[in-house]
Structure 1
Amino acid sequence: MAASSRPSVWPDLSAKLVARMLSAHAGIGVVLGALLYIVSLSGVLVVFHAEFARWEQPHITEVSAASPELAARSAQTLLDHASAAGETPDRISVFLPTPDSPRLAGGYGDTYWFIDESAALGETIDHGFSEFLIDLHYYLHLPSTLGLIVVGLLGVMMLALVVSGFLAHPRVFKDVFRSHKPGNGQLSLADRHNRLSVWGAPFHIMIPLTGAALGLATLVALTLAQTQPGMTVNAMFDTVFGPGAEETAEAGPLPDIAQALRVVESDFTDAGLTPWIVQIENPGQDGQTLQILTAANQRLIFGEYLQFSPDGAFIGKTGLDDGAFGQQATASVYNLHFGNWGGVPVKLIYVALGLALCVVCVSGVQLWLYKRARKKGPQPRLERSWIALVWGPPALIGLVLALDRVLGLADAAMPAVFWIGLLIITGLSMFTPSTATLSRGLKLSGSALILIGAGAHFLAYGVSGYQSPAAWGVFAGLMISALALSVNALTASTPLRAPKPAPADPQVQA
């Protein structure tokens, strides 16, 4: 049958333009792979975000608990401070000591302070570096709503890659214990990719699934708010997390916080709920309310909201700890995603599995580049760009840390240093003499910058200033990370390079 003569709906394109489009398509694939890797890498660090925050200000006195009376006086101190400054805060929050953050703190608006045993305001809380890491993982430093949606979509993409990877390799479970010789290029890389994918499969499914749920909840809420009459974003979230306290007080003294905390201790401790955050809406004004967020230390849920009357009497709770299954499941997503449910041992397991996920992300793109090069020939610019996108982020995180600790880099400048630096490194990578030089240079640079940042911080506070055990743990972790980068740089083999396509058989050509 003769071929159809029907014209194509696509216009004729020049071969040069087609080649450029194919190159752009490949570049987009590398960029998406890099974003998945950056989200995974930052997630590993954010597992210890509370410890990083304690390390940033290691000299703050830590306590295991604060009395109800101290919490009440702290709230009054905050209100007095706001009044003296001529401010009328919409909310005052008092953060009680917890195992992850054993410090008393509080504040309003955008400013928070540590609070001492006499309820006096101390040093302003300054967690610029840990907040930089959190914003990188949560939002990729995009505006919050857009960032959550983008990261949520990346979670969906990662979940699809995990599922499709298993479906595309039906023998993966049989081959997971088979090993090829280390020097066998693509096969060795595939071994590593497949083993880590299978061994970490439950984690690799759970992390993007919960991440997608966290990120896309806002998108769902925004969609429903536009399509359902009378529905708002707040109304949707209120169905899960509650609308907050409803019983209000007239302008005057703050609600009886001490009495409310005594009620929590007497009536809810046996249920595993401990006071965490005291929130007073419209403090000192008409309509002021009192709500206490409790932590559920033995549960996956992040906590339970308890509402109190102005005189400190319990009036109700949201139901996160004993409500509908869907409500409890939603309240468990955050802790399940970040490992905030089993102490340091669980966090270390999350770090190990998270690093394995990073390797899976990197090796997956490497395998794709390898196969692409076998078909189309070596593409050194694309290969070097990928090396820059893999080893650039650790080096740039080290740069942000060093600039913050040595020069006091402004918090607002940290994202710019990271992303502009990544663009510069990626651009310059195309002109480096070899992939090995580029890889080794980025690893050693990251190691040196981490050492500079951690060393400057230690020298600034000294041994006596490291009062927090978490500070010593983070310092040790930074030293180990710097050492690992250096050892890898000096001992790793040359980065995987794809061979040139085999020449055509001359007999076939004849």
Structure 2
Amino acid sequence: MWLWSRLHTWSSLACTVFLLLLCLTGLPLIFHDELGDLLGHAIAAPDLPPGTPPADLDAVVAAAQAQRPGEVVQYLIWEEDPAILRLSLAPSPSASPDALTTVLVDARTGRVLGEPRDREGFLYWMLRLHTDLFAGIPGKLFLGGMGLLFLLAIVSGAVLYGPFARHGGFGAVRRGRSARLRWLDRHNILGVVTLSWALVVGATGVVNTLAEQVLAVWRADQLAAMTAPWRGQDPVAAPGSVQAAVDAARAAAPGRQPFFVAWPQTMFTSGHHYGVYLRGDTPLTHRLFIPALVEAETGVLTDLRPMPWYVQALLLSQPLHFGDYGGLPLKLAWAVLDLVTIVVLGSGLWLWWAGRRGGTR
């Protein structure tokens, strides 16, 4: 038990400050959509009669490009609100994600609704602190390491609490003893009660920090195999109809709807294809995408295959990490558990500091 005690103490101390930061910044992110509406960041589409047909996607693209002259579309994304389409534009087809600007277009009329302020404000700062500490990929990998230490602290804490619980002490707070001992019991109880949730959130958080690496493996493996016949050819200079590409992909995968379209030369396709990413309509398949590659010049579907298991694990981890599966009730449960974890982390720091002071005296 001495080894487990040392593992628990030092793995906890190494990550606690950063875990407190992640819990504090993650709390408002659980309610990202609701806070966005409250802060006035949301851009709504006008009410139209039910059954209004969708606009032609080529007209939608033209409207977005007219809003941002001289820029080209890299991505077309279907929002959760079916009346809104999100288009990401950049100065060139292969420009980095940092150069992207966003234009929202009414999916039914093809009219521009506005340009959301995605990279400013309270929620943006919370998101950047939570995901990468404003340090990019190195920041994400560092937080991933802290997440691994957090998982080690959880497991070692459960092992240490096991003998106490087996002897009838589960859930007990020993009275008549020192304040530190009573807080130790409370710390242990809260830690064990939130054990499963903390493991899920910690593990999914670690997976999310590896998003760039996971996608890089997929591009080098499966995407490279799907686009091998076009390797070495010059990229398409003027892509054809995006509406035709989406129609071809939907015809090849009945029952699935488009989630986003990647233009040629972006990271989710090749220099010769539209990448049309389709999803299902169940809570599970809604999160799992199937990429369909459509030749940008001819509109002919060339390949369609499910994502490999490691990309699917990433896709499932992202919404699970923020409790974004079951609507507002699950978000509220996530928030309560987040607050309890803050108490566990804070009490752990206090217990360690109080123990050192007691040992010195």
TM-score range, shorter chain: 0.7 to 0.9
Alignment of 1:400-439 (within 5 A): none
Which residue in 1 is equivalent to 2:41?
57
Q: Is the 8 A contact 1:214 1:334 kept in 2?
A: yes
Q: Is the 8 A contact 2:215 2:311 kept in 1?
A: no
Instruction: Report the Cα offset of residue 243 of structure 1.
Output: 5.0
Q: Is the 8 A contact 1:66 1:96 kept in 2?
A: no
Q: SS state of the match for residue 162, structure 2? A: coil
**Do structure 1's residue 339 and structure 2's residue 320 form an aligned pair?**
no
Higher helix residue share: 1
- State which of 102, 113, 117 in structure 1 corresponds to 2:103: 113
**Do structure 1's residue 351 and structure 2's residue 341 form an aligned pair?**
no
- State which of 289, 292, 303 in structure 2 corresponds to 1:316: 303
Larger radius of gyration, structure 1 or 2?
1
Higher strand residue share: 2
Which residue in 2 is equivalent to 1:145?
137
Q: Is the 8 A contact 2:60 2:111 kept in 1?
A: yes
Which residue in 2 is equivalent to 1:93?
75
Which residue in 2 is equivalent to 1:132?
125
- State which of 189, 209, 212 in structure 1 corresponds to 2:183: 189
Give a deviation string over 1:439-479, Cα, whole Å, max 9, x none: xxxxxxxxxxxxxxxxxxxxxxxxxxxxxxxxxxxxxxxxx
Q: Is the 8 A contact 1:298 1:341 kept in 2?
A: yes
Aligned equivalents of 2:36, 2:222: Cα separation in 1: 26
**Do structure 1's residue 299 and structure 2's residue 284 form an aligned pair?**
yes
Which residue in 2 is equivalent to 1:449?
none
* Gapped regions of structure 1 (runs ≥ 5): 1-25, 222-232, 377-500, 502-510
Q: SS state of the match for residue 362, structure 1? A: helix
* Gapped regions of structure 2 (runs ≥ 5): 1-8, 91-99
Q: Is the 8 A contact 1:75 1:93 kept in 2?
A: no
Which residue in 2 is equivalent to 1:214?
208
Instruction: Report the Cα offset of residue 45 of structure 1.
Output: 2.4
Which residue in 1 is equivalent to 2:312?
328
Aligned equivalents of 2:209, 2:219: Cα separation in 1: 17
Q: Cα–Cα, structure 1 residues 30 and 156, in superposed 2: closer, same or farther, change >3 Å?
A: closer
Which residue in 1 is equivalent to 2:17?
34
- Letter of the aligned partner of 2:284 in structure 1? R
Instruction: Report the Cα offset of residue 159 of structure 1.
Output: 0.7
Aligned equivalents of 2:55, 2:235: Cα separation in 1: 20
Give a deviation string over 1:39-96, Cα, whole Å, max 9, x none: 12222322233333444424522789996544332112233445xx334x4x422222
Q: Give the TM-score normalised by structure 2.
A: 0.75
Aligned equivalents of 1:199, 1:62: Cα separation in 2: 46
Q: SS state of the match for residue 98, structure 1? A: coil
Q: Cα–Cα, structure 1 residues 74 and 189, in superposed 2: closer, same or farther, change >3 Å?
A: same
Aligned Cα root-mean-square deviation (Å): 3.7
- Letter of the aligned partner of 1:98 in structure 2? E
Aligned equivalents of 1:73, 1:182: Cα separation in 2: 75
Q: Give the TM-score normalised by structure 1.
A: 0.55
Aligned equivalents of 1:105, 1:65: Cα separation in 2: 21
- State which of 320, 326, 347 in structure 2 corresponds to 1:363: 347
Give a deviation string over 1:252-311, Cα, whole Å, max 9, x none: 4x43322343455555453xx43222222359xx95531223344521744332222334
Higher relative contact order (CA 8 A, sep 6+): 2
